[in-house]
């Protein structure tokens, strides 16, 4: 199967590849054309997922399609952007029809859930890898960034953490996956739903934000560095799911939440006066600490004393304890 036939059969005909709001021209030409309303900016993010590094070689292609797009759109949520379109650069060892059909179906299902359209990309032969670039729109000057946290702000997250990290031994076949708890963790790993509604609600309220991909401690370090402040995390307030506690125990559950990564929940700093209204609106805003003068990220025990975690997060080309 040639490149253009592959694109036509598995991707160009998908529901998510049809022209819609914000997309004037999609797949089929040298470039896609996007239309932005006056007074809005284009938000762009690129993610690459490599077999054997970001997912097992034997990963179910349907689930892989869901996960690949979900983790990419999460970057738009972190900026408070509305999704518009995405491109897919797909490197394949071979054009296996059953694999491509399942992958495209998973990709399309996540695209429908995120209201984002496939607008182009590329295919080539080689070791399996996926590169997705997502495009979103946000009113000028309203994008959420990592810079802006102020002493006195609350440090918040958008829900329970650690489930995807708790699922990793199940994904790798190191633990059994035959319980309701295991199924819940696997769902969080393979189908991460970007917190787009929360990101939009945080515009004009949060002072800094990002999505948690490399672990709470490591990613909060980016906010601390960009904003020139200290973030204090109270470990007793870090939200953990009952499924994770049951599957791995309280101690390991906390470690998964602090440094496991792959959560794709939002972490953000919020002036205290906005907290009640956001919680009354039903938004998943959970306070885990505060912003103070200083630098870096400090984990506090129940007595308010600093504690050093075994590791802080995942880094490419570096040690996990960096």
Nearest CA-CA partner of 313 in 233, 237, 242: 233
Average pLDDT, the chain: 91
pLDDT the model gives residue 316: 41
Question: How is residue 207 annotated by DSSP?
Answer: S
pLDDT at 5: 66
Q: What percent of the chain has pLDDT over 70?
A: 93
* Share above pLDDT 90 across residues of the chain, in percent, rounded to a whole number: 78
Tokens representing 76?
Answer: 């738009």
pLDDT score for 321: 37
Q: Where are the domains of the chain?
A: 3-139, 154-307
Q: How confident is the model at residue 320 (pLDDT cuts 50, 70, 90)?
A: very low
Residue 310 class from Cβ within 10 Å (0-12 exposed, 13-18 middle, 19+ buried)? exposed
Mean pLDDT of 278-303: 96
Residue 179: pLDDT band with limits 50, 70, 90: confident
Closest CA to 240 of 292, 178, 181: 181
Topology annotation, domain 3-139: 60s Ribosomal Protein L30; Chain: A; (3.30.1330)
pLDDT band at 319 (very low <50, low <70, confident <90, very high): very low
Look at residue 6 in the predicted model and tell me its pLDDT. Answer: 61
Res 311: pLDDT: 67
Q: Give 228's pLDDT tier (boundaries 50, 70, 90).
A: very high
Collapsing DSSP states into helix, strand and coil, what is residue 246?
helix
pLDDT at 322: 35
Q: Which tens digits make up the pLDDT trace of 50-96? A: 999 889 988 999 999 999 999 999 999 999 999 999 999 999 998 88
Q: What is the pLDDT of residue 21?
A: 81
Please determine, for residue 112, whether its predicted confidence score (pLDDT) is greater than 90: yes
* CATH code reported for the domain at 154-307: 3.90.650.10
Mean pLDDT of 130-159: 98
Rounded mean pLDDT, 156-176: 92
Cross-sheet strand order for the sheet of 286-292: 208-211, 266-270, 154-157, 286-292, 230-234, 296-300, 306-307
312 pLDDT band (50/70/90 cuts)? low
């Amino acid at each position: 199967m040639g490149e253009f036939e592959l694109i036509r059969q598995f991707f160009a005909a998908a529901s998510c590849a049809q022209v819609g709001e914000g997309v004037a021209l999609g797949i089929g030409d040298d470039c896609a054309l996007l239309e932005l309303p006056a007074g809005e900016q284009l938000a762009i993010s690129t993610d690459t997922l490599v077999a054997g590094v970001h997912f097992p070689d034997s990963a179910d292609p349907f689930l892989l399609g869901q996960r690949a797009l979900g983790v990419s759109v999460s970057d738009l949520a972190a900026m408070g952007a509305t999704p518009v379109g995405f491109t897919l650069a797909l490197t394949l060892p071979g054009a296996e029809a059953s694999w491509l059909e399942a992958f495209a179906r998973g990709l399309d299902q996540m695209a429908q859930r995120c209201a984002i359209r496939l607008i182009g990309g590329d295919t080539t032969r080689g070791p399996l890898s996926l590169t997705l670039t997502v495009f979103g729109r946000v009113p000028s000057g309203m994008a959420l960034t990592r810079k802006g946290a102020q002493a006195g702000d609350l440090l918040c997250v958008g829900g329970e953490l650690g489930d995807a990290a708790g699922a990793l031994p199940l994904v790798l076949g190191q633990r059994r996956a035959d319980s309701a708890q295991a199924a819940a963790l696997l769902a969080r790993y393979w189908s991460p739903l970007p917190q787009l509604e929360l990101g939009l609600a945080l515009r004009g309220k949060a002072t800094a934000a990002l999505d948690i991909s490399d672990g709470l401690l490591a990613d909060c370090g980016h906010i601390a560095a960009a904003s020139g402040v200290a973030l204090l995390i109270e470990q007793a307030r870090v939200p953990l799911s009952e499924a994770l506690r049951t599957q791995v125990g309280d101690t390991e559950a906390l470690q998964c939440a602090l440094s496991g990564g792959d959560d794709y929940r939002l972490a953000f700093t919020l002036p205290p006066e906005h907290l009640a209204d956001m919680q009354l609106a039903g938004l998943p805003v959970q306070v885990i600490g505060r912003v103070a003068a200083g630098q870096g990220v400090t984990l506090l025990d129940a007595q308010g004393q600093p504690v050093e975690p075994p590791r802080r997060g995942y880094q490419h080309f570096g040690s996990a304890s960096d």
